């Protein structure tokens, strides 16, 4: 297209006016030359030329873009038309806005967690190293494995080790000691994850070797918050656990790792170590061109080599090594919940679409006469369709705009009720942003819905029977068969979708209630927990740790209000360590006489503090220390599983046989059996557990323990323990020689956090279900009131012919409820199939739960009944005379 | 009026070609162009003035003619149009199209006329 013609329209018009003037002058010159009078000459020239203004208008139009001007006119018209029916407009815009807002919010979170690749450069090449076995694969590494993996240079570009949980570290040497998340990493860690170094450097391989010196790399957050972004921090020394550490570098902001970290220190592995204890995670970056299957087959050979080096028993019989994509490993089981979430959102969107389409259909039907008039005045079918499309696009774009704002708010809301265990949303959800993709997605949805909503009524409105519409029927004729049926179908669909949503919500609500009522096996009331990091050199043997525990327990008990105090190396309901054991005297390697169990080290008062009932024998006393014979307490699940007939109290067990020097110790006497606790979470059955006194741990095990986990303190009090936080932390600091505590939470808070995901799911589906219910109610109300309005004449005639008000009311109710029941029936059918996808989220309730499947249809029918009630009443109030005269 | 009784309207689409043809003789302003077309066609064609100027502007936008303000033979201000290189090419193409078309139409009309004569 030639763009020149659209430029400088007024200037060119002025030019043309002068040109025409010049033409007329020449024409009248010519006439004068033929001998005419000047006035006559001019008059004839004018006549001959015709209307100069018409010419100018023709050129003007030629220089314009008619469709843009038509669009502008249609837009203004649409705004006027929508403003004339503010109720409709507001409801429609709100419906679209809510649907799109919800969609955007959930999509943003999903995008950050599920769709967006890891934030590291070239994330496809990152893999987690796994131990494979017949039962599946699990992460975890020891030094010999790491050394072997590190040597696989044919497949790996880098291999790095890092702490998974981390014991925490104490920054000391100031007025305020602070427990921070200090992560041990091997030297290649930063290069492998592509960490941006903003100051200094990362560890050299010399620094990551035994006796490499004390060096640390700081995170952006720690550098900023604790050191005020001091530009001279690199090269200075900080105190970690009482030891001076040289700061060699600072990592830039936005480096989000799956194990969040405030600072990093090198592992300094002795790669010749034969220590088989697993205490870290390893990941690798594949060499360019190497695939996961290739890496796996290479690692199969490596596993054979491992057995040759360290003996046939160094790996389980069918065990080996393998890799999985790090993305997959870190997202884990969030995939299904998010898909369920997306599905629910899709349902809400569909319901909203159906509803708005319904409203638009009703509106278009009511405006039949307007369209007929316009058609009679010469509007083409295309023009009417365009007009309606523009109206609905105006609606959907306004809705989309508001929806976007709601989406922003929704993301914040989702993050604020986020259970805290959604991976990779970054600090304060910084990883979740509304990015251009989502913007386009939202815009796409709003435009698509606009076209979809607009097209159906537009097409049906564009072929009115002109004469019929204009003459007798007017706007109050029965709704056209086509649009009437369509609207009924839409309402039925809405009902069906709502039933599915509400049944899903019902199942999740029941799950949540069930989870809340699960007895965890120990008391949470008025129990405070906190962590103390004992990672320094001071705590490499058992005795000083035991001293801190004894001293701390005594001081805490002296605080008025404190009833009991205990320490453990695991958090109940927080997961812990697992360990194999042999029952002394039984043949080895033969189930059920040998096996594995959760492995806790606790102080003597652990069971009394958490009120875990003693079922048989005795629990620990203060006297079960390093000097006393080795003892172990087991839980009921362990007794049942491994002593189905015999008496465990008569047996000794050997814990961690062959695991490595850290766990080398003699057999322990089973002294007691305690009640089960649900440590794997309220929705998991109790698993076998064994407890040993912290004071009886071998020194090397304590050293390992101090490196990988903090000590957990539990304080049960009479009054609300939150009121005792200050005396407790002071007492612990005094007792430990200045160690700070962190993560101060009550057990009830921890439990709430544990079922937070279920709460999150329940909340979301409840919101979706309620939104669906509300919209379905609006939908059926809209259809029925519209139908009553359309049939005013018919109802009037019926009344005039003697129909009772109750007959009319029941007729309307019957029709409304018929639609509802059809929808509900379809919905139940759909739910039968769809709730199976929820099975993995449910606890104590089956996917085909009778309560949900009976209560939901009843609830929905009740709401539908209320919704059709008022239109039905309106039907009885029709005044026959008015109705007949209305047109 | 000095309008001949058989003055014909210019066929749609041919006005552009006629204007371009007139400009081969040299730059001219609108009035001259209109007069020249009418005179050259021995007053068989009548240029509708309301179409002339839109056509001139269209041709200019397409780059087939260029314009400038000048002084006319009557010592009046007038806007002159001049054929461009591209205009010359377009004229050749349009003239070719027109000749093929008239020949084709002539063939058809000639045949049908002769048939009519046979039937009569």
pLDDT of residue A284: 93
| CATH code of domain B8-119 | 1.10.10.10
Q: Which residue of A15, A48, A62 is in closest CB contact with B58?
A: A62
Q: Please say whether the beta carbons of A214 and A245 come within 8 A.
A: yes
- Report CB contact under 8 Å: A55, B54: yes
Is A564 among the domain residues? Answer: yes
Please state, in angstroms and rounded to a whole number, the distance separating the CA atoms of residues A431 and A254: 8
- Listed residue (A407, A443, A557, A340) closest to A101, CA to CA: A407
Task: Please write the tens of the pLDDT for every residue from A257-294.
Answer: 766 788 899 988 888 887 777 778 899 999 998 888 99
**pLDDT > 90? residue A347:** no
> Is the torsion defined by CA of A423, A429, A430, A432 positive or negative?
positive
User: Nearest-CA distance from A19 to chain B in Å?
Assistant: 6
**pLDDT > 80? residue A375:** no
**pLDDT > 60? residue A371:** yes
Is A529 among the domain residues? Answer: no
pLDDT of residue A135: 62
A587 plus A504 within the same structural domain = no
Number of domains present in the structure of chain A: 5
Find chain A residues with C-beta within 8 A of B48's C-beta.
Answer: 50
A677 plus A781 within the same structural domain = no
pLDDT of residue A881: 75
User: Nearest-CA distance from B117 to chain A in Å?
Assistant: 42
Is A112 among the domain residues? Answer: yes
Chain-centroid distance of CA A743 in Å reads 24
List the single residue in A with minimal CA-CA distance to B29.
A23
Q: Please say whether the beta carbons of A256 and A426 come within 8 A.
A: yes
What angle do the packed helices A436-461 and A381-416 form, to 10 degrees?
Answer: 140
Greater confidence (A735 vs A795) lies with: A735
- Report CB contact under 8 Å: B62, A2: yes
Is A793 among the domain residues? Answer: yes
Q: How many CA atoms lie within 13 A of A445 on its CB side?
A: 26
Task: Please write the tens of the pLDDT for every residue from A100-128.
Answer: 787 777 777 766 665 555 567 777 888 98
A641 plus A708 within the same structural domain = yes
- Listed residue (A476, A348, A571) closest to A787, CA to CA: A476
Is A47 among the domain residues? Answer: yes
User: Across the strands, what pairs with A887?
Assistant: none
**pLDDT > 70? residue A465:** no
Coil/strand/helix, residue A848: coil
Residues in chain B, how many? 120
Of the residues A49, A60, A61, the best mutation for testing chain B's interface (the one with the most B CB atoms within 10 Å of its CB) is A49
- Report CB contact under 8 Å: B50, A54: yes
pLDDT of residue A434: 60
Residues of chain B falling short of pLDDT 70: 1-12, 111-120
Please state, in angstroms and rounded to a whole number, the distance separating the CA atoms of residues A243 and A237: 10
Q: Which residue of B48, B57, B72 is in closest CB contact with A26?
A: B72
Terminal Cα-to-Cα distance of chain A (whole angstroms):
52
- Listed residue (A745, A761, A83) closest to A418, CA to CA: A761
Task: Please write the tens of the pLDDT for every residue from A391-450.
Answer: 888 888 888 888 888 888 877 777 766 555 555 555 445 555 665 666 677 667 777 767
A53 plus A72 within the same structural domain = no
CB atoms within 10 A of CB A374: 16
Q: Please say whether the beta carbons of A127 and A284 come within 8 A.
A: yes
**pLDDT > 60? residue A700:** yes
A190 plus A44 within the same structural domain = no
A693 plus A547 within the same structural domain = yes
Task: Please write the tens of the pLDDT for every residue from A179-206.
Answer: 888 888 999 999 998 888 888 999 998 9
Domain endpoint, select from A679, A711, A739: A739
A690 to A598, A605, A844: CA distances (angstroms):
6, 15, 27
Task: Please write the tens of the pLDDT for every residue from A713-770.
Answer: 999 999 988 888 889 988 998 888 888 887 788 888 777 766 666 677 777 777 777 7
**pLDDT > 50? residue A593:** no
What angle do the packed helices A436-461 and A335-366 form, to 10 degrees?
Answer: 30
Task: Please write the tens of the pLDDT for every residue from A819-829.
Answer: 889 999 999 99
- Report CB contact under 8 Å: B53, A4: no
Q: Which residue of B30, B48, B57 is in closest CB contact with A23?
A: B30
Give this complex's ipTM: 0.83
Task: Please write the tens of the pLDDT for every residue from A530-588.
Answer: 888 887 778 888 999 999 999 999 999 999 999 999 999 888 776 567 777 888 887 76
Is A455 among the domain residues? Answer: yes
3-state secondary structure A289-322: CCCHHHHHHHHHHHHHHHHHHHCHHHCCCCCEEE
List the single residue in B with minimal CA-CA distance to A13.
B57
Of the residues A59, A61, A62, the best mutation for testing chain B's interface (the one with the most B CB atoms within 10 Å of its CB) is A59
Coil/strand/helix, residue B81: strand
User: Across the strands, what pairs with A249?
Assistant: A200, A217
A886 plus A813 within the same structural domain = yes
What integer is the mean pLDDT of A835-853? 81
DSSP classification of residue A473: I
A857 plus A762 within the same structural domain = yes
Confidence class of residue A166 from pLDDT cuts 50, 70 and 90?
low
pLDDT of residue A436: 63
Coil/strand/helix, residue A153: coil
Of the residues B30, B43, B57, the best mutation for testing chain A's interface (the one with the most A CB atoms within 10 Å of its CB) is B57
A680 plus A815 within the same structural domain = no
What integer is the mean pLDDT of A45-71? 80
pTM: 0.60
User: Nearest-CA distance from B62 to chain A in Å?
Assistant: 7
Please state, in angstroms and rounded to a whole number, the distance separating the CA atoms of residues A392 and A15: 42
User: Nearest-CA distance from A21 to chain B in Å?
Assistant: 9
Find chain A residues with C-beta within 8 A of B54's C-beta.
Answer: 55, 58-59, 62
Domain region containing A7: 3-64
- Listed residue (A592, A589, A620, A624) closest to A690, CA to CA: A620
- Listed residue (A52, A34, A32) closest to A42, CA to CA: A32
Q: Please say whether the beta carbons of A499 and A860 come within 8 A.
A: yes
A704 plus A562 within the same structural domain = yes
Is A401 among the domain residues? Answer: yes
Task: Please write the tens of the pLDDT for every residue from A830-843.
Answer: 988 888 888 877 77
Find chain B residues with C-beta within 8 A of A4's C-beta.
Answer: 61
A826 plus A711 within the same structural domain = no
The whole-chain average pLDDT of chain A stands at: 81
Q: Which residue of A4, A19, A51 is in closest CB contact with B79?
A: A19
A556 plus A675 within the same structural domain = yes
List the single residue in A with minimal CA-CA distance to B33.
A23
Is A749 among the domain residues? Answer: no
Task: Please write the tens of the pLDDT for every residue from A222-236.
Answer: 888 888 888 888 999
């Amino acid at each position: 297209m030639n763009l020149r013609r659209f430029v400088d329209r007024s200037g060119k018009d002025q030019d043309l006016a002068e040109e025409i003037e010049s033409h007329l002058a020449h024409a009248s010159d010519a006439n004068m030359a033929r001998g005419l009078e000047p006035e006559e000459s001019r008059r004839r020239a004018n006549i001959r030329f015709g209307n100069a203004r018409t010419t100018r208008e023709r050129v003007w139009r030629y220089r314009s873009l008619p469709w843009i001007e038509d669009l502008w006119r249609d837009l203004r018209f649409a705004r006027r038309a929508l403003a004339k029916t503010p109720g409709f407009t507001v409801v429609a815009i709100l419906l679209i806005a809510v649907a799109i807002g919800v969609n955007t919010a959930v999509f943003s979170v999903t995008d950050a967690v599920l769709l967006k690749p890891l934030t590291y450069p070239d994330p496809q090449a990152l893999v987690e190293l796994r131990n494979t076995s017949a039962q599946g694969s699990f992460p975890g590494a020891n030094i010999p494995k790491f050394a072997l993996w590190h040597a696989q240079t044919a497949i790996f570009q880098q291999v790095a080790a890092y702490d998974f949980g981390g014991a925490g570290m104490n920054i000391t040497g100031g007025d305020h000691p602070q427990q921070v998340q200090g992560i041990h990493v091997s030297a290649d860690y930063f290069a492998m994850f592509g960490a941006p170094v903003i100051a200094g450097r990362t560890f050299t391989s010399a620094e990551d070797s035994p006796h490499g010196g004390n060096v640390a790399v700081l995170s952006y957050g720690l550098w900023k918050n604790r050191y005020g972004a001091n530009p001279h921090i690199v090269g200075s020394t900080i105190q970690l656990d009482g030891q001076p550490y040289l700061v060699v570098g600072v990592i830039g902001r936005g480096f989000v790792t799956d194990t969040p970290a405030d600072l990093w220190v090198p592992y300094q592995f002795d790669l010749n170590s034969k220590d088989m204890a697993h205490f870290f995670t390893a990941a690798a970056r594949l060499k360019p061109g190497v695939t996961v299957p290739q890496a796996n087959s290479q690692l199969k050979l490596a596993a054979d080599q491992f057995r040759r080096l360290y003996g046939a028993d160094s790996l389980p019989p069918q065990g080996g090594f393998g890799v999985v994509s790090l993305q997959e490993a870190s997202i884990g089981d969030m995939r299904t919940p998010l898909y369920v979430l997306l599905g629910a959102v899709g349902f809400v969107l569909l319901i909203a679409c159906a509803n708005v389409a319904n409203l638009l259909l009703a509106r278009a039907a009511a405006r039949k006469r307007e369209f007929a008039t316009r058609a009679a005045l010469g509007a083409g079918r295309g023009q009417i369709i365009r007009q309606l499309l523009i109206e609905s696009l105006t609606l959907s774009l306004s809705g989309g705009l508001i929806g976007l704002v709601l989406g922003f708010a929704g993301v914040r809301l989702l993050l604020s009720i986020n259970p805290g265990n959604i991976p990779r949303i970054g600090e304060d959800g910084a990883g979740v942003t509304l990015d251009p993709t989502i913007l386009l997605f939202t815009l796409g949805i709003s435009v698509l819905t606009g076209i979809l909503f607009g097209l159906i009524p537009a097409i049906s409105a564009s072929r009115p029977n002109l004469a019929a519409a204009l003459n007798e029927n007017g706007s109050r004729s029965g709704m056209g068969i086509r649009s009437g049926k369509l609207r009924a179908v839409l309402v039925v669909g809405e009902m069906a979708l709502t039933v599915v949503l509400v049944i899903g919500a019902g199942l999740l609500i029941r799950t949540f209630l069930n989870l809340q009522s699960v007895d965890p096996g120990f008391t949470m009331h008025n129990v405070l927990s906190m962590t103390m990091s004992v990672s320094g050199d001071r705590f490499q043997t058992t005795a000083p740790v035991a001293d801190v525990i004894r001293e701390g327990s005594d001081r805490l008990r002296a605080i008025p209000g404190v009833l009991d105090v205990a320490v453990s190396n695991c958090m109940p309901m927080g997961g812990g360590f697992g360990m194999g054991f042999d029952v002394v005297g039984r043949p080895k390697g033969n189930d059920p006489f040998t096996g594995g169990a959760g492995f806790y080290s606790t102080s003597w008062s652990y069971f009394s503090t958490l009120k875990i009932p003693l079922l048989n024998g005795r629990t620990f006393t203060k006297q079960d220390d390093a000097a006393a014979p080795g003892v172990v307490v087991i839980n009921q699940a362990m007794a049942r599983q491994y002593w189905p007939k015999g008496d465990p109290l008569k047996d000794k067990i050997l814990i961690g046989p062959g695991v490595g020097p850290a766990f080398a110790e003699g057999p322990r006497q089973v002294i007691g059996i305690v009640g089960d606790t649900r440590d794997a979470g309220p929705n998991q059955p109790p698993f076998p557990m064994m407890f040993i006194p912290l004071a009886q741990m071998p020194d090397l095990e304590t050293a390992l323990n101090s490196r990988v986990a903090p000590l957990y303190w539990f304080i049960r009090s009479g009054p609300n323990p939150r009121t005792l936080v200050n005396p407790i932390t002071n007492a612990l600091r005094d007792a430990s020689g200045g160690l700070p505590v962190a993560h101060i939470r009550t057990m009830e808070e921890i439990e709430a956090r544990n079922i937070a995901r279920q709460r999150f799911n329940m909340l979301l589906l409840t919101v979706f279900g309620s939104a669906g219910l509300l919209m379905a109610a609006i939908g059926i109300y809209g259809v029925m009131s519209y139908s009553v309005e359309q049939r005013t004449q018919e109802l009037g005639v019926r009344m005039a012919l003697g129909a009772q008000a109750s007959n009319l009311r029941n007729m309307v109710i019957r029709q409304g409820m018929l639609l509802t029941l059809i929808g509900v029936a379809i919905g139940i059918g759909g739910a039968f199939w769809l709730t199976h996808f929820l099975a993995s989220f449910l606890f104590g309730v089956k996917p085909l739960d009778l309560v949900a499947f009976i209560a939901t249809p009843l609830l929905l029918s009740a709401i539908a009944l209320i919704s059709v009630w008022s239109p039905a009443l309106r039907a009885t109030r029709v005044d026959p005379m008015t109705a007949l005269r209305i047109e | 009026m000095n309008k001949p009784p058989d003055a014909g309207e210019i066929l749609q689409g041919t006005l552009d070609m006629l204007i371009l043809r007139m400009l081969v003789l040299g730059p001219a302003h609108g009035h001259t162009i209109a007069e020249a077309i009418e005179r050259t066609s021995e007053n068989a064609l009548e240029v509708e003035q309301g179409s002339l100027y839109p056509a001139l502007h269209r041709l200019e936008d397409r780059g087939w003619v260029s314009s400038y303000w000048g002084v006319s033979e009557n010592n009046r201000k007038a806007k002159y149009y001049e054929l461009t290189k591209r205009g010359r090419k377009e004229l050749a193409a349009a003239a070719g199209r027109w000749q093929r078309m008239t020949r084709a139409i002539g063939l058809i009309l000639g045949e049908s006329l002769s048939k009519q004569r046979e039937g009569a």
